[in-house]
Each structure stands twice: as C-alpha cells, then as structure tokens.
Amino acid sequence: MSKRDLKKYVAELNKEQLEEQILELYEKFSSVKVYYDFVFNPKEETLLKECKLKISNEYYPLKKSGRRSKPKRRRSVAQKYIKHFTLLGVDPFVIADVMLYNIEIAQTFSSEQDIKQELFFKSMYNSFQQAVVFLIANGILTDFKPRISAIHTETILQKWYNEPEFNAILERLEY
C-alpha cells in the first residue's frame, strides 16, 4: 500500500475507527508501543544510562558467578542503540553523546589491553567518521569539539596505526 492510498483510507475513517486502529496497532506491534511510550514519556536520561551501561558492558562485562566474562567489544551494540534513538526522535545531543561514548569506552579499554585486531581500529575509525558526519548534519559540531579532539589525541597517545585517518577528518574540519 502506498502512502497516498493509506492517507485516502485514513481519511475515510471516523474518529472512533481511527482510535480503534491505533489501539490495535499499539497492542499488536511492540515497536508501535515503544514509540508511543517514548512520545508520551520521553525518559531520555533513563534511556541514555541504560544504553551506556550496555555499551560499557561490551568492554567491561559484569561478573557472573564470581568470574569475569570475556569482553565482546561489539560495535553493533552501540549502532543498534543509535538507530533506535534516531527512529524514536531522541534529541541529537543524546545520540551524539552515545556515538562518542562508544569510542571513548573503547579507547579506555584499548589503553588497558593490548589489542592486535586490525578490525577493532577500523571499526572505531568508522564510528568516529559517522559521529563527525552526524554532528555536522545536526549543526552541533562545535558543542562536541573538545570530545572529538580528545578522541584524536588518544589515538596519538595509544599509537593507533590508523591515527592519520582520524587526523585527516580533523584537518578537513579545519580545526
């Protein structure tokens, strides 16, 4: 069904029928429920805390039965939250915070652990690049300049092999 057909169909419904359909959608589809729960009670701080906890758990897993689990270091966990927050219409500052937090926690981990996997560094570069593009697109780059600079400085201090790529992004921004 096209959007035009849907508009035509909705226009033909009376108020009671529309209410009934929305309630049915709310009950049937969890994504609709999540959306309306957020729209009417946008607890962005709670969502942000939960998100940061999950991301940090990828690098510093919670102890289970007295043993520390092995870090998984999955970038996809942060990417899912970023996509989810974008769909919900969460404030761009919150989304940007999550994007940069993901890189910062990974850098904290890499400062404590010797990481040899090239994929880790490529992944963090991709996250950095996406964050900068997002910040520019939302006109909030200047608000996050200190954190972007700190991330770049950390790539230098930790001698990441792809530091020149991080630097190239900053040079394009005319820091």
Q: Distances in Å between the alpha carbon of 104 and those of 78, 124, 173? A: 12, 9, 20
120/103 Cα distance (integer angstroms): 11
Parse the chain into domains and list their residue ranges: 1-41, 44-172
The pTM assigned to this predicted structure is 0.80
The pLDDT of residue 158 is: 96
* Bridge partners, residue 67, by sequence: 64
Parts of the chain with a pLDDT under 50? none
Residue range 120-159, pLDDT digits in tens: 999 999 999 999 999 999 999 999 999 999 999 999 999 9
Distant-in-sequence, close-in-space partners of 162: CB < 8 Å, separation ≥ 6: 121, 122, 125, 155
175/171 Cα distance (integer angstroms): 6
The pLDDT of residue 66 is: 59
CB 98 within 8 A of CB 130: no
* Bridge partners, residue 161, by sequence: none
Q: In sequence order, which ranges of the chain are alpha helices (DSSP H)?
A: 3-12, 15-28, 30-40, 44-59, 75-88, 92-112, 118-137, 141-157, 163-172
DSSP state of 60: S
Please name which of 86, 168, 73, 169 lies closest in space to residue 121, comparing C-alpha atoms: 73
The pLDDT of residue 65 is: 58
